[in-house]
Amino acid sequence: MNDLQQQLAAIVGPAHVLTGEAELASYLTDWRGRYRGRALALVKPGSTDEVAAVVRACAAAGVPMVPQGGNTSLCGAATPDQGGRSVLVNLSRLNRIRQIDAANNAITVEAGCLLAQVQEAAAAAGRLFPLALASEGSCQIGGNLSTNAGGVQVLRYGNTRELTLGLEVVLPDGCLWNGLTALRKDNTGYDLKDLFIGAEGTLGIITAAVLKLFPRPRAVVTAWLAVADGAAAIALLGRAQARFDARLTAFELISRQSLDLVLQHIPGSRQPLAAPAPWQVLLELADGGAWADLQADLEDFIGGEMADGRVQDGVLAQNETQARQLWALRENISEAQKIEGLSIKHDISVPVSRIPEFLDLAGTALAAAFPGVRVVAFGHAGDGNLHYNLSKAQRQDNDAFIAATPQANRIVHDLVARLGGSISAEHGIGQLKREELVRYKDPVGLDLMRCIKSSLDPRGLMNPGKIL
């Protein structure tokens, strides 16, 4: 053990410092297996004070730190570089629910809590913590905060940023900032917490947060609707919002090709309507009143849409089992696509009004550049956020197509930029999109980011090589 390793062992206890190649292996690669790094050690502090002491020791030694939660980043944000000089600071042991204040609709949690653990603690107090993601059983709330994670209920409840009231952060010099307020209104100076949310651990290590809770809806109703095209879907969204406003908790768009993949590859999947449609919308409402009333309201709304021919067909879940079956069709798209083979993935957003234009223009441009390309488009249309994944049907064709990723990215991302959109709606930048960021971000905005980074972390020790 070298000097720093010994100091770290003294801080957290020798059992919580890993240095061997075999014990480190699973922490050195990312969830999608795109990156493999090296590290001097992995350290698992057991308290905020230990995190601060670890940061001070690393800072004194001039050693870079890579904060790591559940290691589920889709962009390699929690994987160290190849240099082998970094220390991985793993937050898993900071996993206490510190406090629940149901009357204030707030919960104070440590960074290493699993997202599912936060959801369960809220439920046990009769409340809802609405952040919900595919990886909720393994991702940690510190990672959700550092990525500003999204998910399927952003339409109603916002991103992780909007769900956060306060933060506790260990700064790059090892000082502890206590910003754990539980207030809905606080105008005492600069908004510090939002600097750390979405910063992917490059400005400090989030150790705890105060998060918003909500009443648990008594009634949830779910519908699966067939529409002709993107424009019809977005027009439907507008009318659903006018009628139901914040009771509209989800509005997911699913292309026929996405649905077909699920029906083909996921056992037990069943087409919910008589005939497949070019586009499907999965829509959910939630309310604190009686289920039957909400269901009747939704039936009335959909009846009107169908009578006017604006929705071609539709089905309402009659119970929770049916609702879960509809949701499974949406949630299994990524899994079905994985079974089918590799694809080029995009996580883009545009103004909601421009989704139809994006779908038309991107589809046309890609078909021209890559004849036979298969577009699997689906996602959070209510937020202007689509997952837009491309592949080719034949294995050999697809290998050549995957090799052309930069050209495909250029078509998709140039169009996104032209429509005023974002090349990363909810997954962050990490290592994966650093170069794309430089290409598309406003240069003055990039300079501002660099200015903030160099003033908070002048030696560049916090998660180097991520974002900037």
Q: How far is the CB of 300 from a second copy (least distance, A)?
A: 9
In angstroms, rounded to a whole number, what is the distance separating the alpha carbons of residues 265 and 17? 43
Q: Counting contacts by CB under 8 A, is residue 287 touching a second copy? A: yes
Q: How far is the CB of 173 from a second copy (least distance, A)?
A: 10
Q: How far is the CB of 403 from a second copy (least distance, A)?
A: 26
Map the footprint of a second copy across residues 326-355, applying CB under 8 A: 349-354
CA dihedral for 344, 345, 350, 352, sign (positive or negative): positive
Residue number with CB closer to a second copy (195 or 402): 195
Q: Counting contacts by CB under 8 A, is residue 361 touching a second copy? A: no
Q: Counting contacts by CB under 8 A, is residue 49 touching a second copy? A: no
Residue number with CB closer to a second copy (68 or 159): 159
Burial class (CB in 10 A: 0-12, 13-18, 19+), 78: buried
Q: Counting contacts by CB under 8 A, is residue 269 touching a second copy? A: no
Q: How far is the CB of 206 from a second copy (least distance, A)?
A: 14
Q: Counting contacts by CB under 8 A, is residue 199 touching a second copy? A: yes
Q: Counting contacts by CB under 8 A, is residue 437 touching a second copy? A: yes
* 3-state secondary structure at position 415: helix
Q: b vs e for 42-64, b when ≥16 Cβ sit within 10 Å of the residue's Cβ?
A: bbbbbebebbbbbbbbbbebebb
Q: How far is the CB of 219 from a second copy (least distance, A)?
A: 11
Map the footprint of a second copy across residues 217-256, applying CB under 8 A: 217-218, 234-235, 238, 241-247
Measuring CA to CA, which residue among 275, 254, 271, 255 is closest to residue 263?
A: 271
What does the chain come to in residues? 468
Q: How far is the CB of 424 from a second copy (least distance, A)?
A: 5
Q: What is the dihedral of CA 295, 299, 301, 307, to 10 degrees?
A: 180
| DSSP secondary structure letters along 145-199 | HHHT---TTHHHH--TGGGEEEEEEE-TTS-EEEE----S---SS---HHHHTTS
Q: How far is the CB of 11 from a second copy (least distance, A)?
A: 20
Q: Counting contacts by CB under 8 A, is residue 56 touching a second copy? A: no
Residue number with CB closer to a second copy (262 or 416): 416
Map the footprint of a second copy across residues 175-194, applying CB under 8 A: 175-179, 181-192, 194
Map the footprint of a second copy across residues 99-128, applying CB under 8 A: 101-106
